[in-house]
Amino acid sequence: MSSTAPSSPTTVDIGPFLSQMSKLWKNDGIRSLFPLENIPGMISLLAGRPNSSTFPFESITMKLKPALAGMPAPTDDDDPFTITLENEELNEALQYGMTAGVARLIDWLAELQTHVHKRVQDGSWAITVSAGSQDVMYKTCQALVDDGDYFLVETPVYPGTLGFLATMPCTLIEVHADSQGLNPANLEAILSTWETTNPGKPYPKVLYTIPSGSNPTGASIPEGRKIEVLKLAKKYNFLLLEDDAYAFLYYGPAGQQARSYFALEPEVNAEQGRVVRFDSFSKVLSSGMRLGYMTASPRLCAAVNLITSNTSLQPSTFSQIVAYSVLSRWGPKGFLAHCAGVAEFYRSRRDMFERVAYKHLTGLAEWTTPVAGMFLYIKLRVHSDNREADSWDLISTKAVAKGVLAVPGTAFMPLRGPTPFLRVSFSIIEEPMADEACRRLREVILEARAEAEAASRID
Ligand SMILES: Cc1ncc(COP(=O)(O)O)c(C=O)c1O
């Protein structure tokens, strides 16, 4: 396997980044012994595993959808679209498993990461499977955040991350994102003036960012900006949490998807371990299966696994085996072909939604066309001049009264500041409903405009 990395990147020492909390978690005395069961000849009296023969499932058969675009051509199986879990494999699926995930799924994911990000499997990174990426992002932040820490957050940002960060003893620093994603100039402005704006305070330890088809902005950061951000990460010594939940939903021009931070770090910074990558199967296999995975330095993975071994114990073995049964048929290339088909589906949804949005909202709202993901981040133009009006009341009250639900932009602001934006999702809505939703939004904006104009006449 070849790599674009220089011959020997340095390894970032994760130790100083780990929180005091992460040091409180201890091996639970049972799960930490599980790996020893794999030693040939070992007789295990370890775990209180239930006896699988008492489970009511004889076999579980799944039918794949052959029609989904991207599905690779049938193999020489009799029926390549039917998967049956039975006997040992079913027992394994129904049983407790390893904390970090099912070993063969982890191997498959490592192969995928090497294929996609061109990172050699040289021991500098490991994989932890999780109950969706949300679970492992939370645990990672637990493992990193200390009392009094400063935490850089791309803004606007996915509220799911804000939800758990709100419980942590850190101060959030907003780093602006625009139609091109995270803005490195703003990041640099924050960091280069840190000592004057935050005298005596520690520099931020972590940056959280959503590089592809961001939730909520829909923006995808170009490679040039990623390189600038990576250089700042090294210069100011912070870890970069790359939440790439929408990476597989890229539908922009072929061959122009920016390489990931994880792919770029050895080349740009000649180091490894500063980027902590989160992937999710939620948007391309199933969100209900709750499967995601972290790719990070082995030490950080171990810190997170320790939390899991004491809390949720492990990600669902059942979900992992089901996912593996499909992924192993596809291989990384087949999986990516499937993802391309899914992305194409969302591209046509985006086109449909933009069509009706242009029809009803031209002159009343603006947005940037996304090249990945499932969101439009729409800026309302309540005033006919360029003044901005906060969308909160309009969207959370007036739009609801008109029968249309969208997320007011304030939900995505770490410090809850006002914003004229709202987020719409075009993932499941059909054209007639999308058309009606945009028509209702138009009425809401027109009424708000009329009110604003009347108020300005009174002034
Ligand atoms: C940006 C972002 N990150 C993470 C998640 C969580 O994904 P998962 O279902 O893998 O937990 C979501 C879910 O919508 C998301 O939008």
Report pLDDT digits (tens) over 220-270: 999 999 999 999 999 999 999 999 999 999 999 999 999 999 999 999 999
- Amino acid 67: pLDDT: 63
**278: number of Cβ within 10 Å:** 26
CB of residue 257 inside a 6 A radius of ligand 1: no
- Tokens at residue 125, please? 């990174």
Question: What's the pLDDT at 286?
Answer: 97
pLDDT of residue 69: 42
Q: Which residues pair with 208 in a beta bridge?
A: 153, 241
Pocket test for ligand 1, best of 128, 129, 130, 134 (most atoms within 8 A of CB): 134
pLDDT (0 to 100) of residue 88: 95
Q: What is the pLDDT of residue 7?
A: 63
CB of 357 within 8 A of CB of 404?
no
Q: Is 245 in the pocket of ligand 1 (CB under 6 A)?
A: yes
> What per-residue confidence (pLDDT) applies to 71?
55
**72 prior amide bond cis, ω within 30:** no
The tokens describing 10, both together, are 């340095």
Q: 382 φ, ψ to 5°?
A: -70, -35
The predicted pLDDT at position 3 comes to 45
Going from the Cα of 160 to the center of ligand 1, the distance in angstroms, rounded, reads: 7
Whether the CB-CB separation of 173 and 150 falls below 8 Å is answered with: yes
Q: Name the residue with the closest Cα to ligand 1, atom 2.
A: 245
For the CA of 214, the closest atom of ligand 1 is 1
Which atom of ligand 1 approaches the CA of 210 most closely? 1
Q: What is the pLDDT of residue 75?
A: 59
Q: Which residues of the chain have pLDDT under 50?
A: 1-5, 69-70
Q: What residue type is assigned to position 399 of the chain? A: A
Residue linked to tokens 């899991």: 308
Domains along the sequence of the chain with CATH: 10-40+47-330 (3.40.640.10), 338-458 (3.90.1150.10)
Question: Which residue has a Cα nearest atom 15 of ligand 1?
Answer: 245
Which contacts (CB < 8 Å, 24+ apart) does range 192-198 have? 194/236, 198/150
How far apart CA 251 and CA 375 sit, in angstroms, is 13
Cα–Cα–Cα angle for 27, 30, 34, rounded to 5 degrees = 100
* Cα 181 to middle of ligand 1, angstroms: 17
Check pocket membership of 133 for ligand 1, CB cut-off 6 A: yes
For atom 12 of ligand 1, the residue with the nearest CA is 245
Q: Which two tokens stand for residue 400?
A: 């609801």
Enter the tokens of residue 268: 């740009």
